Chain A
């Protein structure tokens, strides 16, 4: 076994230098207690030398009764690196907003040190706590200890992936709904869909409290729930003046950047034409003490974002322009289930809902999920004249008898 980096990993050792925290130092420190981490270092050094990865496709591994939550991982140099012949990942569903107590973190660390490599990602791309690297035998015991401690696995494969959210009303004045509560509620409500893959492909949900979208929901979630409001931006004129006195050039920095030019400043009073405001957040972002979202708050629901695989990347597009977000969230749950029903029935294998929506056409999709088309859903009406009318009139062949 390689000693702690000594001459064993010269390339990786380079990455212990510099001001940014080093993942190599993390693996080395963890290797003091874990043979697996020592082997991982040597395997990674090999990848650095050869410029190629040494991990194989995952096999089907998991915990009893679940189809998701574990990513099988095996290296392709098993004889040289038997310690990490299996090196599976567990995805553990994080608490909404990624809040922890020190005790909760220590509990996870203790479990993971007993049963796995001791390496983690805080957090994975979808938001889960990632426990990086253990053997097949350790999966069930890890799961048992995690659940006893109050944690459960997250999603993987063709299931509902672990929903995630921004910090929301816990620490943000701009949250237009309770992102943490909705995320937690949806996650608990759809446990079966999260643990047992039964969809054409993955389905991600992300809850952002305002259009700043700190969880990148519009790019990274099949369903993006983005907070917004429909009444007037609240203005504290004295604080507007104070912002200007503090050096903000309100005309240049705020008004000129407004996408609909709906904001005016005459040096003493800030006026907003709220009917033309598109809730972009720029003016509020620049003057948090002076401006805040209105009181009639809710969310816009958008659908369909995904990365390029298979048919190209998509951003989510508007499905519901405005909806009040209030427990028990029946309207949202019902909408999600209608989408899943139609997509589950007609979606192709590995076809995300955004691609499906484009294949069948947004108009047809809306009909099937029983949502009325509205102009907020489109950037502009169609430019091409090839319209698929479904019915046409025929001349009646015989006069109907009187």
Chain B
């Protein structure tokens, strides 16, 4: 007998996945303490204590690894675990004596423990060449290379404040990197290569024309076929036209690469949430380990670690010292590309004589 086809049942209710200690103390937690890197304890009004051990994950995981986590949860946490908004895995422990053996098992599996408090947490990132059609760089590979290099900042708590790194492999920014302390962003630098052969079969020309934020695309007839033409001087490589029309591919091995952005944040703590700003306009794609990118990120991290005050996020640090000093301290060359030339660009010009001469 066929089972009934179910639809629109929505997600499972989270309540059935909560451990008993959470159900008992739900909404009644009193405070938390960070015990050491990657380990914290929440104490309830009841006096109950819930220990959390946070470990790194590569986000892209096979079922085998998830089953490993499930086994560890059974062994140490009565089967309870969760994931974080930055793709870490957290084990929820009531018996404090389970913490050390769990950490040992996690480390044997290759999952460093850390990322809590004043540390560099996991990099939020996108699909890249693993699974995306619009990627200007890989995601998982760059992240792996950068975090291999910065792993000590994940497993330690020696940095001034929180530092959030994110990577998006194109301007669509599935990773919403635009408010990160350090953002790694894949960029195209060559206008779309128009496939006149099939454009009118695959794409709606009015939609293609309308998709361009700078009105660079016009209808045109090429070799007797309806198609489009692009004023290349107006193209800013956003790839919005490619999103609506597969016949306008942007990816180009010679011109694609990575830009680096700094100083964004989403938290309201101290200063208001703010966008990241351009630090390095272009670095080449250099797989498998993107050394130019790992060096650039390490340099930014080290300047911040060495010079920022306690609790100061990257953007707050730069606000205090000013952009000219930021470029001097990091040794990054200031170029024309650093100056905005899209809408509201004027708001980013320095409109005072308050300068450190």
A binding-site residues for B, Cβ under 8 Å: 11-12, 14-15, 17-27, 29-30, 37, 40, 44, 47-48, 50-58, 64-66, 73, 87, 89, 93-106, 108-110, 112-113, 118-125, 127, 132-133, 144, 147-148, 150-152, 162, 164, 166-167, 169-173, 175, 178, 180, 184, 187-188, 191-192, 195, 211-220, 226, 252-253, 257-259, 278-282, 285-286, 288-289, 292, 307-313, 315, 349-350
Chain A contacts of B332 at CB under 8 A? none
Q: Are B85 and A19 in contact (CB under 8 A)?
A: no
Q: A123 to B61, alpha carbons, bound, how many Å?
A: 10
* A166 vs B253: C-alpha distance when bound (angstroms): 39
> In the complex, A214 Cα to B90 Cα: how many Å?
15
CB distance from B262 to the nearest CB of A (A): 15
| Residues of chain B with a CB closer than 8 A to A64's CB | 5
Instruction: Report the 5 A-B pairs with minimum CB-CB distance, sorted nearest first.
Output: A18-B148, A30-B62, A307-B173, A102-B70, A211-B268
A-B contact pairs, 23 of them (CB 8 A): A15-B145, A18-B148, A30-B64, A44-B130, A94-B11, A99-B14, A100-B83, A105-B66, A109-B63, A118-B63, A119-B62, A121-B127, A148-B3, A164-B85, A170-B18, A216-B176, A219-B266, A226-B268, A257-B270, A281-B268, A292-B31, A307-B173, A307-B174
Q: Number of B residues contacting the other chain (C-beta, 8 Å)?
A: 116
**Which A-chain residue is minimally distant from B126 (CB atoms)?**
A125
| B22 at interface, CB cutoff 8 A | yes
In this complex, which of A24, A56, A133 has the most chain B Cβ atoms within 10 angstroms of its Cβ? A24
Q: Which B residues are within 8 Å of any A CB, using their own CB? A: 3, 5-14, 16-18, 22, 26-27, 29-33, 42, 50, 52, 56-67, 69-71, 73-74, 79-85, 87, 89, 92, 110-112, 124, 126-135, 138, 140-141, 144-145, 147-148, 151, 168, 171-176, 178-179, 207, 210-211, 213, 238-240, 243-244, 246, 251-253, 256, 264, 266-271, 273-275, 285, 287-289, 310-311, 342-344
Q: A29-B64, A101-B80, A120-B63 in contact; A48/B85 too (CB < 8 A)?
A: no
B144 near A309 with CB under 8 A, answer no
Contact status B61-A97, CB under 8 Å: no
Cα-based distance from A66 to B9 in the complex (angstroms): 12
Number of residue pairs spanning A and B whose beta carbons lie under 8 angstroms apart: 356
Given the known inter-chain contacts A101-B80, A133-B131, please indicate yes or no for A120 contacting B12, CB distance below 8 A: no
Task: For B287, list chain A residues within 8 Å (CB).
Answer: 11, 48, 51
Which one, B7, B16, B138, B269, contacts A65 given CB within 8 A? B7
In the complex, residue of chain A having the shortest beta-carbon distance to the beta carbon of B72: A102
Q: Could you tell me if A212 and B133 are in contact, using CB atoms closer than 8 angstroms?
A: no
A166 and B85 contacting across the interface, CB-CB below 8 Å: yes
In the complex where A30-B63, A99-B82, A308-B173 touch, is A150 in contact with B9 (Cβ < 8 A)? yes
Please determine whether B268 and A309 come into contact, CB atoms closer than 8 angstroms. Answer: no
CB pair A125–B269 under 8 Å, yes or no, is no
Contacts of B17 in A (CB 8 A): 95, 99-101, 104
Residue of chain B at shortest CB distance from A167: B82
Q: Which of B12, B134, B268, B288 contacts A104 (CB 8 A)?
A: B12
Contact partner, B129, options A24, A54, A191, Cβ 8 Å: A54
How many whole Å from B344's CB to the nearest CB in chain A? Answer: 8
CB-based contact A100/B171 at 8 Å: no
CB contacts (< 8 Å) of B60 on chain A: these are 23, 26-27, 119-121, 132
Shortest C-beta distance, A74 to chain B (Å), equals 9
Return A367 CB to nearest CB of chain B, in Å.
Answer: 25
* Pick from B64, B74, B268: contact of A212, CB under 8 Å: B268
Is the pair B67, A123 in contact by a Cβ cutoff of 8 Å? no
